[in-house]
């Protein structure tokens, strides 16, 4: 029972990481239907930014995180402006390939500039492990879990309650019609990228701190997993991304707990396929039926 409780904590803490990343995926996809392959790499850049400002400029944790959020938001807007905006009216598969190109560029550019070596992230917050009836949970795990939930609520609020959020929803349903009612398409999409990338930046610093290990390819695997999480949850849906993230986290933990660690990813993909077959648009996705 105690082991089960501990595994639940492990799963939730892993899931909160996927959820953090999946939120950014889901937002960008929701609005321009682009699988932003470079999202995982923006997360990597956030981690590296944190690494440098803490080591070189001696920022504290809060400032490092805030500055990483701003840095990644700007980066997201720049990438959107140069790489995706020219392709807005092109086939979606073209934009996908461009996103893959951006991802390659960020990974290899960072490898070129900073070498491929793994670096240890400066431990600006000392890890404290709390013992709760035989269960262990660290302050950083709680921090990540808290941040993931907080950001999810914040996003939900922005999307549901603000003017920009309304514009985002409008664009995601019908960009042309949104323009007709006076919504600035470019601003809205830039804002979405800024928001999504900011979340990746926050995730980068948090996860860098948690695992204490960063490298230029760190965004690849979590990026794909987070995308799977977003799809399971119903891509485009904020609560869906979180649920998907936690689901994958718990699933991976469960599979490893019963000793099938070699098949952990296979099980995740299998569950993904099964969920899509039952719910073709994910758990929270809206089913769209073509009108005849």
- Restricted to residues 228-247, the positions that interact with other proteins (CB under 8 A) are 228, 231, 235
Q: Does 98 bind other proteins (CB under 8 A)?
A: yes
Q: Does 276 bind other proteins (CB under 8 A)?
A: yes
Residue 238 CB, shortest distance to other proteins, in Å, is 18
Q: Does 139 bind other proteins (CB under 8 A)?
A: no
* Closer residue to other proteins in complex, CB, 93/181: 93
Q: Which stretch binds other proteins (CB under 8 A): 58-66, 102-110, 198-206, 240-248?
A: 102-110
Of 57, 58, 86, 153, which lies in the binding site for other proteins, with binding defined by CB under 8 A? Answer: 86
Q: Which stretch binds other proteins (CB under 8 A): 49-57, 65-73, 120-128, 185-193?
A: 120-128
Q: Are the C-beta atoms of residues 254 and 15 closer than 8 Å to each other?
A: no
d(CA 5, CA 50): 32
**How many C-beta atoms surround the C-beta of residue 28 within 10 A?**
28
d(CA 28, CA 195): 9
Q: Does 60 bind other proteins (CB under 8 A)?
A: no
Task: State residue 137 phi and psi, 5-degree precision.
Answer: -145, 135
Q: Is 118 left (phi over 0), alpha (psi -120 to 50) or beta?
A: beta
- Restricted to residues 151-170, the positions that interact with other proteins (CB under 8 A) are none
Residue 19 CB, shortest distance to other proteins, in Å, is 14
**DSSP strand pairing (129-132 vs 135-138):** antiparallel
Max Cα–Cα distance, the chain, nearest Å: 62
* Closer residue to other proteins in complex, CB, 17/167: 17
- Restricted to residues 253-272, the positions that interact with other proteins (CB under 8 A) are 253-254, 256-259, 261-263, 265-266, 268-270, 272
d(CA 157, CA 160): 5
Per the DSSP assignment, residues forming a β-bridge with 130 are 137
Q: Does 19 bind other proteins (CB under 8 A)?
A: no
d(CA 209, CA 126): 10
Q: Does 128 bind other proteins (CB under 8 A)?
A: no
């Amino acid at each position: 029972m105690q082991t089960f409780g501990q595994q639940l904590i492990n799963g939730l803490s892993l899931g909160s990481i996927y959820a953090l990343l999946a939120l950014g995926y889901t937002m960008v996809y929701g609005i321009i239907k682009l699988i932003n392959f470079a999202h995982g790499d923006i997360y990597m850049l956030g981690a590296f930014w944190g690494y440098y400002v803490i080591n070189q400029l001696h920022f504290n944790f809060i400032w490092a995180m805030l500055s990483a959020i701003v840095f990644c938001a700007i980066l997201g807007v720049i990438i959107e402006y140069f790489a995706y905006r020219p392709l807005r009216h092109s086939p979606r598969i073209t934009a996908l390939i461009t996103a893959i190109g951006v991802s390659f560029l960020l990974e290899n550019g960072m490898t070129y500039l900073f070498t491929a070596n793994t670096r240890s992230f400066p431990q600006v917050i000392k890890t404290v492990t709390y013992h709760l009836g035989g269960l262990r949970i660290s302050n950083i795990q709680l921090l990540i879990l808290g941040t993931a939930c907080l950001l999810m609520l914040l996003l939900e609020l922005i999307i549901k309650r603000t003017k920009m959020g309304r514009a985002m929803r409008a664009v995601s349903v019908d960009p042309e019609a949104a323009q007709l009612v006076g919504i600035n398409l470019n601003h809205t999409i830039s804002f979405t990228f800024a928001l999504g990338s900011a979340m990746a930046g926050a995730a980068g610093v948090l996860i860098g701190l948690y695992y204490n290990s960063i490298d230029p390819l760190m965004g690849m695997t979590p990026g794909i997993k987070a995308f799977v999480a977003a799809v399971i949850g119903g891509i485009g849906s904020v609560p869906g991304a979180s649920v998907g993230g936690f689901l994958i986290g718990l699933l991976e933990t469960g599979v490893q707990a019963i000793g099938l660690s070699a098949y952990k990813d296979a099980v995740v993909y299998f569950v993904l396929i099964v969920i899509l077959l039952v719910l073709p648009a994910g758990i929270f996705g809206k089913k769209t039926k073509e009108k005849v």
